[in-house]
Amino acid sequence: MKEKKNTESASQESFLHGNTISHALAAHLRAGKLLAGISPRFFTVMTLYAVVDALAPYAAVFFSAQILKELALLRRADVLWRWVTACVACTGAFAVLKSFLYQREETLFDDLYGRKEILFAKKMFSMDYADMDKQETHDLREQIRESENWSSWGMMRVPQVYEYGLKSITGIAGGIALTVSLFTSPIPASAGWLTALNSPLFIFLLAALMVVVSLLAGVCNVKSISYWSSASEDATFGNRLFGFFGFIGLKKDRGTDIRIYNQQNLVSAYWGKNRSFSGDGVMARLAMGPMGIYSGLGTCISVLITGSIYVFTCLKAWAGAFDVGSITQYVGAATAMTESIFNLTALLGILKTNAGYLDTTFQFLDIPNAMYQGSLTTEKRSDRQYDVEFRNVSFKYPGSELWALKDVSIRFRVGRRLAIVGENGSGKTTFIKLLCRLYDPQEGQILLNGIDIRKYNYRDYMNIFSVVFQDFQLLSQPLGSNVAGNASYDAAKVRRALTDAGFGDRLAAMPDGLNTQLYKDFTENGVEISGGEAQKIAIARALYKDAPFIILDEPTAALDPIAEAEIYGRFDEIAGDKTAIYISHRLSSCKFCDEIAVFDEGRIIQRGTHEELVAEEAGKYYELWNAQAQYYTE
Ligand code: ADP
């Protein structure tokens, strides 16, 4: 809860920070560079599209004006014919080019979206585990995803900002090129008082008025768009609720509980409460209120500009400054230009609002890899003499006040079997996470062959461990790839690992053998496996890795008693010369270990063989042993 607040206040801050144009521009430039880096082709095609799209209306305006001029004045059939041909050819070419570029841009946009998702996925993959494990990180990622789903705020707005910016600027340039002569064509002296319109002062005042009024229209638009930010928190939360409760009925693993405990009642209660996107929700109220008013005001003001251009053009034509064909050109070009100015100012609003969302995006992408990494290699020792020692290690999870481990000291004897037992929450899994350097301890040291594990290259250090965590995950991929962690593998070795893990009979019954697809996510021919079978595959995966340390966290919880006895009966043989560590609630399965360490409230309170520990009647192990044994002895 506390972490959620922090994330929210961080994003509020980022919205405030995003309120300066220079900051907004810098954020968009950075995001643009990042996107252009992952898909340069998209930006090239989009640039061409934007320019073609912006210039197309001017081609039509220009040629229509020439045709009208010829029709009204000289009426030469051959010239007229040439203008008409040129008009059709040019506007046709623009239309074909625009349509081709549009299609290309659309497909490349989808491709860009996929590449951007991969960028985020890679960030998640490469993050320090401690950051990946934080709720705060997931909240941040969710916020980014939800803002994008809600109204494409964030990274995917950047191409639109670029496209609209380019279109508007090209449109304004095209408009100026076609309207310069509107101001420079003089009204003949015979026109009387209307010659006042020739005065440079008048032209300057008119131009200044147009700029000021356009800016005013823009301000209204910026104001209107800024309301998106105020609805942001409500909308992202609404999106989150909908994302969870809207699709809950589709989830297979929830089907039983929903039916037995009528969970749909709780779900529909949430649907009722979630009014973010309803007709009377925050967004709807804003749209019907201030957002709509400001947006309408902006449009009215821009209509005023168009109106004054009409009046000015008509007056000059009336006074004889130019012909009727030019009226079409000036009015058409000026209207298109006004629209471009309007779009450009509206873009400022989008730019500023989107900057807040980009700040959240960068907050996520900039999470540093703070874990210190040395460069020492864990040289590949064929004798597997890897000696690991915990020396007075204490550890708290980030944001927690409680020590999950306190002053733990233990040394693993190479090639021996160590069992770790203790009640739930006593620190057993945390101990393994520290051993694998998923977290660093706050106090004490963990040493590999006498050297602090932080000084080793991280990947190298990870390679000496095979772990089966309680919450291990298999992928919807072929069985063989799952075991090997790779699409290409040594099939004989995979088969041996599966057989050693007790999966041999099941493998023999699989029609596609190692190529059998696990689960049905991608194919109907996939095989749904039971929890116990999955656990055996996970054990086989650990055996295939063939690392010097093999660690099993509750390795047989999902196995039936026969499979469990089989695994334990042969584990000594399977583990071979590896150093093996077991965490188990079933104390009887630890009896064969060389040493048992008893954890309690983050400390190791007893160590010894089963016989030694069971003889200490005042000890925890005796208590745990008897609690379980009574079910078997009575
Ligand atoms: P065990 O494996 O013995 O059941 P754990 O090592 O999982 O115990 O947990 C030890 C303590 O650390 C418990 O109090 C647990 O609530 C806490 N803990 C475990 N994981 C986290 C986490 N990711 N964040 C905060 N506290 C945690």
Following DSSP, what letter does each residue of 498-537 receive, concatenated? Answer: HHHTT-HHHHHT-TTGGGPBBSSSS-TT-B---HHHHHHH
Q: Which atom of ligand 1 is nearest to the CA of 431?
A: 6
Mean pLDDT calculated for residue range 313-342:
87
Instruction: Say whether 554 sits in a helix, a strand or coil.
Output: coil
pTM: 0.81
- Residues 94 and 55: their CA atoms lie apart, in Å, by 8
Residue 531, pLDDT above cutoff 90: no
Task: Write the secondary structure of 438-506 as one string of H (helix), E (strand) and C (coil).
Answer: CCCCCEEEEEECCEEHHHECHHHHHCCEEEECCCCCCCCCEHHHHHHCCCCCCHHHHHHHHHHCCCHHH
- Which among 421, 417, 412, 416 has a CA at the least distance from the CA of 584? 421
Burial 569-591 (b: 16+ CB within 10 A, else e): eebeebbeebbbbbbbbbbebbe
Q: What does DSSP say about strands 579-583 and 417-422: parallel, antiparallel, or unpaired?
A: parallel
Higher pLDDT, 52 or 334: 52
- The pLDDT of residue 514 is above 70: yes
Q: pLDDT at position 3, please?
A: 38
Evaluate if residue 248 carries a pLDDT over 50. Answer: yes
Mean pLDDT of 8-15: 43
- Closest residue CA from atom 25 of ligand 1: 397
Give the tokens for residue 43: 């930006």
Give yes or no for residue 385 having a pLDDT over 80: no
Looking at per-residue confidence, does 576 or 465 come out higher? Answer: 465
| Whether the Cβ atoms of residue 440 and residue 373 lie closer than 8 Å to each other | no
- Residue 584 CB–ligand 1 contact under 6 Å: no
Angle between helices 21-38 and 77-126 (to 10 degrees): 90
CB 582 within 8 A of CB 596: no
Please give the Cα distance from 238 to 274 (Å, whole number).
Answer: 6
Average of per-residue pLDDT across 143-164:
91
451-452/603-608 β-pairing = unpaired
Statement: residue 441 has pLDDT above 60: yes
CATH of domain 386-464+553-561+581-634: 3.40.50.300
Question: How far is the C-alpha of 142 from the C-alpha of 426, rounded, in Å?
Answer: 32
- Residue nearest to ligand 1 atom 14, measured at CA: 425
- Spacing, Cα 436 to ligand 1 middle (Å): 16
- pLDDT tens string 564-576: 777 777 777 778 8
For residue 403, the CA-to-ligand 1 centroid distance in Å is: 10
Is residue 22 within 8 Å of residue 29, measured between CB atoms?
no
Q: Say if residue 372's pLDDT is above 80.
A: yes
Q: 3 CB less than 6 Å from ligand 1?
A: no
Mutate to test the pocket of ligand 1, among 1, 132, 135, 397 (most ligand atoms within 8 A of CB): 397
Using the mean position of ligand 1's atoms as its centre, give its distance from the Cα of residue 373 in Å. 25
Q: Whose CA is nearest to atom 15 of ligand 1?
A: 425
Comparing 243-252, 394-403, 466-475, 542-551, which segment has the lowest mean pLDDT? 243-252
Q: What is the mean pLDDT of residues 529-535?
A: 88
Q: What is the pLDDT of residue 307?
A: 86
Domain boundaries, the chain: 2-365, 386-464+553-561+581-634
* Predicted local confidence at residue 269, as pLDDT: 79
Q: Which of 135, 138, 403, 429 to mutate to test the pocket of ligand 1 (most atoms within 8 A of CB)?
A: 429
17: Cβ contacts below 8 Å, ≥ 6 apart: 23, 355, 356, 359
601 lines ligand 1 (CB under 6 A): no
* C-alpha to C-alpha distance for 46 and 409, rounded to whole angstroms: 61
Greater model confidence, 378 or 39: 39
For residue 430, which atom of ligand 1 is closest to its CA?
A: 6
Q: Tell me if domain 2-365 and domain 386-464+553-561+581-634 are identical in fold.
A: no
Provide the phi-psi class of 532: left if phi over 0, else alpha when psi is between -120 and 50, else beta: alpha
**Percentage above 70 pLDDT, the chain:** 94
Q: What token pair was written down for 582?
A: 């077991």
CB-CB contact of 570 with 539 (8 Å): no
pLDDT for residue 11 is more than 50 = no
Check whether 634 has a pLDDT greater than 50: no
Q: What is the pLDDT of residue 17?
A: 46
- pLDDT-derived band at 382 (thresholds 50, 70, 90) equals low
* pLDDT at 542 > cutoff 90: yes
CA angle 311, 312, 317 (to 5 degrees): 100
- Does residue 387 surpass a pLDDT of 50? yes
Q: Which residues lie below 8 Å from residue 331, measured CB to CB, with a gap of 6+?
A: 309, 310, 313
The string of DSSP letters for 307-318 reads HHHHHHHHHHHH
Q: What mean pLDDT, rounded, does the chain reach?
A: 87
**Residue 240 alpha carbon to ligand 1 centre in Å:** 27
Side-chain-facing half-sphere of 560: CA atoms under 13 Å: 4
Give the pLDDT mean for 510-529. Answer: 90
Task: Look at residue 633 and tell me whether its pLDDT is greater than 70.
Answer: no
Per-residue confidence band for 383, with pLDDT thresholds at 50, 70 and 90: low
Whether pLDDT at 8 is above 90: no
Answer yes or no: is pLDDT of 19 > 70: no
Is the C-beta atom of 400 inside 6 A of ligand 1? yes
Question: Does the 2-365 domain belong in CATH 1.10.3430.10?
Answer: no
